[in-house]
Structure 1
Amino acid sequence: MKRYYFSLFVLLLVASIAWVLTASVAQQQGETVLAGLQSQVTVEFDQYATPSISATSKTDAFYTQGYLTASERLFQMDLMRRKASGQLSEVFGNKALPLDIMHRHLGFQKTAENIVVALPKDQRQILHAYTAGINAYLHNATLLAPEFLTLGYQPEPWQETDSILAGAPCYLTKFRDSCRRNSFTYAAKRRCSSRPASATD
């Protein structure tokens, strides 16, 4: 009888872990209704699970990009904004305090606020759409990444400044070596402006 209960416990444990892992995986098939979209958007994934977005407007495209990015990278995104704003210790405790203090002294939060305010109107609209897409995922997600469950906290809604903060340690300081490994360039033919641009992952 004890062996039976132990086997049942193991089976339920494995099933629970499998459910958590599959429920938090980004959706790549089917349809999703998002209230923030102005028209229909199509997303196709290639053999490497890289998405291609087809939309009739920039705002819809960036809204969808925000949704997709959050569905695949929300925990990483949350850590990046927490690192730059000096809020890692809220999750990891006192051991993260020295890093938090350093980044608060660097003033990334205030710099991000100033950058957002100074953005041209068209770029601010794009940032707003991207932010709304991230928050749409937060609102719709059945289950967030396992890391959130393990650490026992829920991510706060995404702010426009958070997208600036996520890249702050790379672009606002001289310590860029850790970021260069993930840098890449968009070819001109893949951009609306017909000009190449650098980006980072």
Structure 2
Amino acid sequence: MTPMDPAPLRRDLVRAASLAALAPALPVAAQPAAAPAAAPTLRVNGAVHDLAGLDPRTTLLDWLRERLDLTGAKKGCNEGACGACTVLLDGRRVNACLVLAATLDGRSVTTVEGLARADGTLHPVQQAFIDHDAFQCGYCTPGQVVSAVACITEGHAGSEAEIREWMSGNLCRCAAYPQITAAVQDAAARMARGEA
């Protein structure tokens, strides 16, 4: 075991600070002014939005609902357990209630509102949910639909059991799980045929 260096004495610290304060300032070579940093932005459903001035504690869910009036993602449990707030972040599903909006500079978010085509044609998953009555009260449906899109694009829609496993993060209090599973299977087939 090697002996440790003795801790600096207070007077040594004061002396060093005093000498530093009394030392003449050295001339600094002129440097070009740095370009101002670009304002942080987030792309939502294809449109770019400014994040400047955002309270750093604001969740993505609250920002989407309160600032952009995109109310499809629902506030259910507000702790990432129910999946009602599921959105796609750079193509991957996330619970928007667990993500701070201020951390998403330069990223891309797709909400349920951004799934349909510009001409109003529904995404195959949205249409399949309607065709299979894959909802009852509808509160969880936007999160279920977004999660189903990800489930299919991730390649996890090969069987009923696989769909149930990969959709298990989205809860439905009405227990419409058989219809949801059928809708995901149907949408996967439609997307495989190129209907996306």
Looking at secondary structure, tell me which structure has more helix per residue: 1
Same fold (TM over 0.5): no
TM range (shorter): under 0.3
TM-score (norm 2): 0.26
